[in-house]
Amino acid sequence: MNRLEKPRADEVAITRLAYSDLPSVLSIERRAFTTPWSLAMFVLELSKPSGVCLAARRGGQLLGYLVCSRYADVWHLMNVAVSPERRRERIATMLLTRMFAELGPDARVTLEVRPSNRGAIEMYEGLGFRAAGHRRGYYHDNGEDALIMWLEPAPFAG
């Protein structure tokens, strides 16, 4: 599909997340997480000019989203969520792949994930992220630690 063609209704389109998406984002967020972000948190991230905020849509319906912020020379993947009924359709992988394309090949990316979230960890590992430590008691709802993961650019092979 070239850039001028509209995606077919059954295709997932990755676009910029917009303020008008926030009601749908909050609906997914509340179903996806035990400690969901507030509206104010999403507004703050969308207002940052250096951030990457993406939406996955099919037929005009929001299926998932991603929020990534830049801190100095490191990108922090802050939030990725897919509507619970649309999980295991590779939507999060599509969002991350688009994020990588926007960040470029030299980007350093970090994230935190619950160690109990094996599906997410396997997806991140499949995309090249590696475990690099823990943050003790990171998750406020149950005191679970966070697994810190990093994606580093490939070393120069020349």
Q: What CA dihedral angle connects 39, 44, 45 and 46, to 10 degrees?
A: 80
From 102, 112, 144, 152, the catalytic residue: 112
Q: Is position 11 annotated as part of the catalytic site?
A: no
Q: Is position 124 annotated as part of the catalytic site?
A: yes
From 29, 45, 65, 124, the catalytic residue: 124
Sign of the Cα torsion 60, 26, 100, 144 reads: negative
Active site residues: 112, 124
